[in-house]
């Protein structure tokens, strides 16, 4: 399965956060990926490989699709 993601995308992770949601927003894309919990606002960082492993789904905004 291929997942493409970019800044400000909303993503659903396989594991839910301690606050009970699994919806996150990508706030930084680099060597590491930074995610902000959509519910409680907590930010976490993980490397791309870990992110890809834990990622369940990217919620794409159709209008943002071609942005790079």
List residues binding Zn ion (CB under 5 A): 17, 19, 37, 39-40, 42
Q: What is the DSSP letter of 21?
A: -
CB of 23 to Zn ion, least distance (A): 9
Identify any residues that bridge with 22 across adjacent strands, giving them in sequence order.
Answer: none
CB of 42 to Zn ion, least distance (A): 5
Cβ closer to Zn ion: 30 or 41? 41
Coil vs helix vs strand at 63: helix
Cβ closer to Zn ion: 28 or 42? 42
Query: What's the CA gap between 57 and 12, in Å, rounded?
Result: 5
């Amino acid at each position: 399965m291929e997942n493409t993601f970019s800044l400000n995308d909303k993503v659903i992770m396989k594991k839910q956060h301690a606050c009970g949601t699994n919806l996150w927003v990508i706030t930084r894309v680099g060597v590491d990926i930074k995610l902000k919990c959509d519910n409680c606002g907590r930010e976490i960082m993980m490397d791309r490989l870990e992110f890809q492993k834990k990622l369940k789904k990217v919620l794409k905004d159709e209008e943002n699709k071609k942005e790079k």
